[in-house]
Every structure is written in C-alpha cells, then in structure tokens.
Amino acid sequence: MLRLLLSCAALCWAGAAMAEAPRGRDLGIPFDGTPGALNAITDVAGVTVGFSTIVEGEGAHAARTGVTAILPRGPETLSKPSFAGWFSLNGNGELTGTTWVEESGFLEGPVMITNTHSVGTVRDATIQWRVAQGGADASGYWWSLPVVGETWDGHLNDINGFHVKPEHAFQALESARGGPVAEGNVGGGTGMICYELKCGTGTSSRVLTAQDGGYTVGVLVQANHGLRDQLTVSGVPVGRELTTPRVWNEETGSIIIVVATDAPLLPHQLKRLARRSSLGLARSGAISGNGSGDIFIAFSTANPEAGTASPPPAAFLANDRMDALFEATVQATDEAIVNALAAGRDMTGVDGHFVPALDHAQLRAILQRHNRLAGATR
C-alpha cells in the first residue's frame, strides 16, 4: 500500500525538487513581458505561499489531493487586511467569503485552495487557525469569513473519501513562506488535470517598467480545465498535435486564479484586474465551459494601514494608468498555466485512472516547427 504524506518542508521548498520541475521558460517558450526574480507570486513583497500535499493509498481509496495557502502579507495577514476584488467568469465552482470581499472591499485573511468536497473542512480549519493566533481581528471582533476556493480532482482522487483534514490546512498555513514556489502536483493542485494532461499549481510574475511605476504583478493558478485540442502555447494550437493519451471528450474542470500586486489599487480596480486574468486563461485556449468554475481574486499589498487606521489612508492609481497592470496580469496568467503543465508529472490515481504529463520534447518539437521556440532560459 502506497502511503505518503508529503510536507512542504520535505518537498515543496526543497531546491532539489524545484530543479526537477522545469518551467515554461526552461523549455524555450517565448513569453511576453519581464518576470520578477522568482517568476512567481512571491515576487510581490510580503506574499507567502504554503502547501500540504497528500499522496496516499491506491485503488478505490487513492488520495491525490491537498491544500494551498496564499497569505497576502505573510505573518501580518490577519492584522492588516488588503484591498481586494473578485470576479466569476463561470460560476460552477466555489470561492467562499467573496460576498464580504465584495461588500467591504477587503481580503481579511489568507486565500486557501483545495478540492471541491474539502472546502468546508478547510474553511473551518482556517477559522480555527485564526483563533489560535490570539486576539480579535482588525475590526475588533472574533469572527472570520475565510476565502476558500476549489477545483474538482475526482478523476485522480477519492474525493468522497474526505482525505483532507484540518491538520492539512494548518500545515499549508504554517509552512507558508516567500521564495521559490513549487508547481505541478503539489498542494490543492495535486490531483488536478488541465487540457487532459497532468497539471495543478502554477505561478508567474511580471515587473512593470519604471515609466509604468515599476510595480509587480504575481499570479498563482490551480488549473483543472480544458480539452486537449484547445491547448494553445505561445499562439500555437499545440494540443491538436500532441499524441499523448486522451482523458475525456467533453468540456470539464475549473480554475482558480489568484492575482497579487504591490500597485496601490482600490477594490473596484482590483476587480478590474481580476477580470483581466480571463484573457490570460483564454490565451492558453480555454473557453470557460458550462461546467467550469472559473473564479478569480486579486489583492493589493499597498496601503497596509487602510483597514486599521482612522481615518484610513489610501493612495491609488488613476484608472488610465492601469493598462500596464492589465497587460502584466494577462501575461502572468498565461505563463502560470503553462508552468503548471510543464511541472506536472504522470499520475495514477483512484481506480487506476492514469493521466499523462506534458511531453516536453514533443512540445518543443511542435513549437520549433512553428518557429516559436526561443533559447531555453529561466
């Protein structure tokens, strides 16, 4: 019996493990824009990411799932809310707590991501973790409406076995840190599939020019969407030419996209930014089908005192200065999805279901035929 619980300390942040997961740029894919030093959501100063990855059992009870935690301000996340906005491109999914995000304009804790049937467990565990930190929240009350998103991993994971427990949410939260972010089969992305290939967690970032303010935009996705023929990389419909085995023949799946920036934006402007991630999703070929839960949230790490000071100070950009941020969001979202694919590894899950990883050599050959292969750099 295969039984393995992979912790963030053991896998997600290990340099050796990171080296084993090539990214889109390592494969020579020519992406637009300038990434940050890590090409990750953690290029936005203060943002931390943690994982709990569950790979346990086989056959009918195979667990291939986990939890991802994104903390906008690291250790200060609970004491300093962040301006935020969210958007649903197609609502066959869940992102809890967004009614209050819409009403208040603030994200008052972490963003958690898991599988569809573990949202309640992770939500309640996040409240328990919040209470254990001690002290009331920034508004002076002992209450919490956690933001928890999901995508469905039931093809590879025994989703009704309820393998995600409170301790997995605690592990993701406690292990959150800055620096490189693991991708592919980790955290909430462990059992996820996109474009009928093993996918999961992916991230990317962009840094604006000094003329555009020098701001950073970072994106993290939990990708679990799309059909093979839809897959588009660097403008090339590569999915039509890939020969790896198919998984299904109808539109399925979902994607959660988290956008972070240090640009000073107000909640309605962050909703605009969240919407733009739809265009990055479309670049990768997705159509956002009827059964897809495509839900996005954006937050800003600027204005750290806006949720606690009285009167609250709030600097913000004029709307006509947002175009570069829109472009950065589109570019980083597209690359984050490709990075999730590039890092995915073959997986056999519940009832022996097998999902192949992206064939890197075949992808490079296709891009070469279309004259879209750049020098392989990180």
254 a catalytic residue? yes
Q: Round to whole Å and give the CA distance between 179 and 177.
A: 7
Query: Which one of 82, 118, 292, 300 is the catalytic residue?
Result: 292
Query: Which one of 254, 278, 284, 300 is the catalytic residue?
Result: 254
H or E element: which one contains 334? helix 323-343
Tell me what percent of the chain is helix, strand and coil, each rounded to the nearest 5: 35, 25, 40
Nearest CA-CA partner of 337 in 291, 294, 275, 290: 294
Q: Are 23 and 183 in contact (CB under 8 A)?
A: yes
H or E element: which one contains 281? helix 267-283
294 a catalytic residue? yes
Query: Which one of 43, 153, 262, 294 is the catalytic residue?
Result: 294
Name the residue type at position 280: G
**256, β-bridge pairs:** 222, 295
Cα Rg, the chain, nearest whole Å:
19
| CB-based contacts of 255, cutoff 8 Å, min separation 6 | 151, 194, 221, 222, 223, 224, 225, 281, 286, 292, 293, 294, 337
**Residues taking part in catalysis:** 254, 292, 294
